Amino acid sequence: MAAPDPRTVAVVAAGGVVGSLGRYAAGLALPHAPGTFPWATFLVNVSGSLAMGLLVAWLVTHPGALRLARPFVGVGVLGGWTTFSTLAVDTVRLADGHEQLAFLYVAATFVVGILAVGLGSLIGRRTWPDISGAQEDS
């Protein structure tokens, strides 16, 4: 395995700082009491899914442009912003006495998250012209 490019490592780290600080701020802004719906985690994961859909659409329509965009935004910012581990902890805590809410939380996160990726991708494809030369199916 080749050594990673130091510039790529730097932009992933910088993006991770941005995303993690944003997620921390969201948690402070939307705290939740035990046994209640964890809105902050839900909203960061869903908004991260929407942003990932937008990013992928942009990258597909602009191949080779801004080589460091994917590692900075996709791995760094969105990796720091979204959080599967907190989703898992919130779910385990909710399942201790609030089983139905725990199920609703997991189901809503995955369903709405998948829909958000699709919506982001759709918005991105309709917003940015395809400069890759690929033709979209009609």
Q: What's the half-sphere exposure (Cβ side, CA atoms, 13 Å) at 4?
A: 10
Mapped onto helix, strand or coil, the DSSP state of residue 46 is helix
Q: What is the pLDDT along the chain (138 residues), one digit of tens a residue?
A: 889 899 999 999 999 999 999 999 999 999 999 999 999 999 999 999 999 999 999 998 888 878 899 999 999 999 999 999 999 999 999 999 999 999 999 999 999 999 999 999 999 999 988 776 655 554
Q: Is 91 exposed, middle or buried (0-12, 13-18, 19+ CB in 10 A)?
A: middle
Task: Return the number of other C-beta atoms located less than 10 Å from residue 99's C-beta.
Answer: 10
pTM for this structure?
A: 0.89
